[in-house]
Amino acid sequence: MNKPLRYIIVGTGGWGGYWCANVLPCLAGAGKAVPVAAVDISEENLGNARQHLGLSPAQCYTDMVRAFGENQADFAIIVVPPAHHEKVIDLALAHDLHLLCEKPIADSMEACARIYRKVRAAGKKMAVTMSHRFDQDKQSLERLIKSDEYGKLDYIIGRNTWNCRKYPSWGAFRYKISDPLLIEGTVHHFDIMRGLAGSDAKTVYVQSWNPAWSEFRGDAQALITLTMENGVKIVYEGAKTNATTLNGWGHDYWRAECERATLELDNRNLRVVSDLSGERIITQKALVQQPAWTNPWLAEMFVDWLLGKRDGHPTQLDDNIQCAALLFAAIASAHGEHPVDVQEFLQRHLG
């Protein structure tokens, strides 16, 4: 049995609190990885690391440079807002650490491309936690589509609509940034689309806007049209300032129109519908079962990758740069009001 790997977590409030309470204890329980230090600019939020990870006050830092300088580790976990990812990644790479980072890679395509080049040049492993594509309901739908039982996939419809128009119901920083819906929300759905379609994106066209009643600074609503490289078409509706939440986190709507059946996932209810036999047949499908989903599963796969027990990770940097390219091409489309060629956009940024 290997010795557990050691990590430093940066960001222990907000979503980092969820990591401390729900994700990292699973890694310790499996004997795979243990914390050596936690960092947060808020002393109060470091309480999550003391409470759930059993770290002593001396292992909890408000100064990131000291934390990395005083503790030997194998990897860093990054759970701070996207605009701060790059400086944590730079510091972690300077200490020769691998990286497990929250989505998106960074808050601009330029920063994502810089990170991509730096991580590759350092020869380190990096994965991005795209939680929602790795949730039980989306994985169940993805596996049905890929089973080939229903024939060729033609097009997909998706929806994730909310009422979180009031500050700060969706977390304060999201009300102050540009394009909060796309950067902080739809990035997950772009990755789900890539998974369901089994393809990267070819083109994306976005109309995004901010209604008068929104308390967001940036656009909080969008209607999006995509064509994937394998020809699958997708239409997606995302909203943060509606009057009600119809399909929130973990309860989003996806419909995959296949040659022989309509596969529909709505609020975690998965069914297969077809009239092709002459009468409408609706088959309820049970969600697939396995011990862990979302971040606990992604984190475990990451550690197994570092330990050499896996050849790669499904959201490793080489894969996730496609998701980043789709996200920032979508933002370019929203502001330029024209479709964007995603692969050309990516190549232009990677140089």
Ligand X SMILES: NC(=O)c1ccc[n+]([C@@H]2O[C@H](COP(=O)([O-])OP(=O)(O)OC[C@H]3O[C@@H](n4cnc5c(N)ncnc54)[C@H](O)[C@@H]3O)[C@@H](O)[C@H]2O)c1
Q: Which residues bind ligand X (CB under 6 A)?
A: 10-16, 39-42, 45, 64, 79-82, 84, 102-103, 129, 131, 171, 173, 184
Token readout for 17 is: 């609190």
CB closer to ligand X, 248 vs 339: 248
Q: Kind and range of the H or E element at 69? A: helix 64-70
- Min dist. Cβ of residue 131 to ligand X (A): 4
Collapsed DSSP state (helix, strand, coil) of residue 276: coil
Query: Rg for the chain (alpha carbons), in Å?
Result: 20
Is 332 in contact with 340 (CB distance < 8 Å)? yes
Least CB distance to ligand X at residue 186 (A): 12
* Contacts (Cβ under 8 Å, ≥6 apart) of 329: 109, 201, 204, 340, 341, 342, 345, 346
Q: Which is nearer to ligand X, 64 or 256 (CB)?
A: 64
Q: Which two tokens stand for residue 207?
A: 């109309």
CB nearer to ligand X: give 88 or 153: 88
**DSSP type of residue 3:** P
Q: Please count the CA atoms within 13 angstroms of the CA of 129 that sit on its side-chain side.
A: 26
Task: Using alpha carbons only, give the angle 213, 249, 163 rounded to the nearest 5 degrees.
Answer: 15
Residue 308 CB, nearest approach to ligand X (Å): 26
CB-CB neighbours of 79 under 10 Å: 25
* Cβ nearer to ligand X, comparing 77 with 196: 77
| Residue 40 vs 74, nearer CB to ligand X | 40
DSSP structure string for 77-94? EE-S-GGGHHHHHHHHHH
Q: Indicate the residue among 86 and 200 with the shorter CB distance to ligand X.
A: 86
Q: Which is nearer to ligand X, 74 or 86 (CB)?
A: 86
Site of tokens 């770290």: 55
Helix (H, G, I), strand (E, B) or coil at 156: strand
CA distance 138 to 241: 24
